[in-house]
Amino acid sequence: MQIKLGHWFASIILMGALLLGGCTQLQDATEASQSPSATETSAPVIQANNPEMTNLPRLEGKATVVMVVKGSPITIEVDGTNAPITAGNFVDLVQRGVYDGLVFHRVVREPQPFVVQGGDPQGKDPNFRGQLGTGGFEDPATGKPRNIPLEIKPKGADTPVYSKTINQPPVLNHKRGAVAMARSQFPDSASSQFYFALTDLPFLDGSYAVFGNVTQGMDVVDKIQQGDRIESAKVTEGAENLKK
């Protein structure tokens, strides 16, 4: 029964992930099944050979980020060795203070543990009445949204594969405590939204970009409820590895 449920979740998520006005979100089964028209919208796509990729922040090595939720720390090891662009984007946003005050807008634990998702900049405004999960980071220097390419490094490969899903086992997988980027059905649509894996989610491997894992504070992640906020996020080690 668990195997069938896992395949069912995977099919719903991968076919039903939505794009709403620039959304970069991982949809749960209910919302995906109720929003068939959302896939009709479009978003800018960054191809792997696009020179715009060279302008994105990169993390050359590893960094440590400490995120505080309800007064308790969550320590994240961010892996720029195996996901340099995805990790660099996250560390850059942490340094900019983008995540401070943002809400966790999606928590899925039933019928089985799934993900805790946050990172929509619209959630910083407590008076925001729109649909959270539809926003991404806009670079103040350009006034344009920043989207990053899907970046997954297969085991045994020297470099990541960009802008497409893979069938090979990835170096960074969706084990419990993995931290990964949420996106729409467009591979190159991730921006600022991320999620914690509440359990092993192997059916997401090769389709979503994992860039780190929780090394301490998974008990804090397990207690996050929808509506809880990130009080702060700071780079405590490895900031010198970020290249802009």
Provide the residue ranges of all domains of the chain, joining segments of one domain with +. Answer: 2-239
Residue 28 has pLDDT above 60, yes or no: no
Considering the domain 2-239 in this protein, what is its CATH number? 2.40.100.10
pLDDT for res 51: 58
Residue 89 has pLDDT above 70, yes or no: yes
Residue 35 has pLDDT above 60, yes or no: no
196: confidence class by pLDDT, cuts 50, 70, 90: very high
> Alpha helix locations (H) across 78-205?
84-96
Residue 173 has pLDDT above 60, yes or no: yes
User: Which pair of tokens denotes residue 220?
Assistant: 């804090």
Residue 232 has pLDDT above 60, yes or no: yes
125: confidence class by pLDDT, cuts 50, 70, 90: confident
Residue 160 has pLDDT above 90, yes or no: yes
pLDDT for res 143: 92
Average pLDDT over residues 80-93: 98
| Least confident interval from 46-60, 91-105, 212-226 | 46-60
What is the side-by-side strand order in the sheet with 62-69?
104-108, 115-118, 194-197, 178-181, 210-216, 72-79, 62-69, 230-237
Full DSSP string of 10-25: HHHHHHH---SSS---
Residue 79 has pLDDT above 50, yes or no: yes
Q: Are 171 and 153 in contact (CB under 8 A)?
A: yes
Residue 237 has pLDDT above 90, yes or no: yes
Q: Does 7 or 108 have the greater pLDDT score?
A: 108
Residue 218 has pLDDT above 50, yes or no: yes
pLDDT for res 15: 34
53: confidence class by pLDDT, cuts 50, 70, 90: confident
Average pLDDT over residues 100-124: 96
Per DSSP, which regions of 45-143 are E strands?
A: 58-59, 62-69, 72-79, 104-108, 115-118, 138-139
pLDDT for res 124: 87
131: confidence class by pLDDT, cuts 50, 70, 90: confident
pLDDT for res 50: 59
133: confidence class by pLDDT, cuts 50, 70, 90: confident
Q: Are 99 and 67 in contact (CB under 8 A)?
A: yes
User: Which pair of tokens denotes residue 142?
Assistant: 């350009």
Q: Are 80 and 60 in contact (CB under 8 A)?
A: yes
Query: What is the overall mean pLDDT for the chain?
Result: 84
